[in-house]
Chains A and B, each alone.
Chain A
Amino acid sequence: MGVEVISVSVDSHFVHKMWNDHELSKMVKGGVPFHMASDQAGNVGRAYGVWDEIQGIELRGRFIIDPDGIIQAMEVLTPPVGRKFAESVRQIQAFQHVRATGGKEATPAGWEPGKITLKPGPDLVGKIWEVWKPDME
C-alpha cells in the first residue's frame, strides 16, 4: 500500500524508545516499524484539533493524508476506546482506488477491494439499486 505511519503523543522520544524496547517489542516482532513523534507542548495536537487542554494529552485522532498533503479522512476517539486498524486500511485502499481512477469511480458504503465501485453519471441516477445492495454486516 506504500503508507508511512507517524504516531504522536506527549511523551518524549526517549520515553518512546523505552516503551518500544520494554513493552511494544514484546508485542510486535522487531519493534515498532514507524516514526513515533513527540509533542510535549501539544503544538501539533492543537493544529489537528485533538489536544485536550484539561488533561494535557492528545485524543485518539487518526488522519489519512494523501500524496498531495490533503487530509482525506479523520476520526477522533476519547481515550478509553481503541481504534480498529483494519478500518484505516480499508479507507486507505478506497481512497487509493478513487485516486487511481482520477476520481471517476466512487466506493459505496462497506466497500472493500474487489467489490463493485460506482461510476457517477447520468446513467446511474436512480439506478444504484440495480447495481449495488447495502451490506449490513
Chain B
Amino acid sequence: MAETAGCARVTGAVQGEKAPSTGASQSPELPERKETVMTARVGQKAPDFTAPAYYKGGFTPIKLSDFAGKWVLLCFYPGDFTFV
C-alpha cells in the first residue's frame, strides 16, 4: 500500500476488491451507491484489509493477513477525542 500523499483522505481498503478511484473523477454524477453487505460472520474468514495506522510513535500501514498465525482483537469505535 502506497503512503498517502499530501492532504489525500486516508482510509482502509478491503483486500481482493477493486480500490475506489480517488481524485481524478470530476463527473457530476454521483457515484453508484454500493449495497452495504455484511460479510463478517462468526466461523467465517475475517475480511482482509489494509489501512494506514499509528503505532508506537510511527506511521506504519497494517494488513490484517500479516497477522496470520496470531490471535487478533479487532476493535472499531466511533471516534478519537470522544467521551466513552
Chain A residues with CB under 8 Å of chain B are 1-20, 23, 31, 33-51, 53, 55, 57-74, 79-83, 88, 92, 95-96
A40 and B55 CA atoms in complex are apart in Å by 17
Identify A44's interface contact among B49, B54, B84, CB under 8 A: B49
A66 and B71 CA atoms in complex are apart in Å by 5
Give the residues in chain B near A63, CB-CB below 8 Å.
40, 46, 72-75
Prevailing SS type, chain A contact patch: mixed
How many A-B pairs have beta carbons closer than 8 Å: the answer is 207
**Nearest Cβ in chain A — how far from B48, in angstroms?**
8
CB-based contact A4/B42 at 8 Å:
no
Nearest 5 A/B pairs, CB to CB: A49-B38, A44-B12, A39-B12, A16-B54, A41-B11
CB-based contact B55/A48 at 8 Å:
no
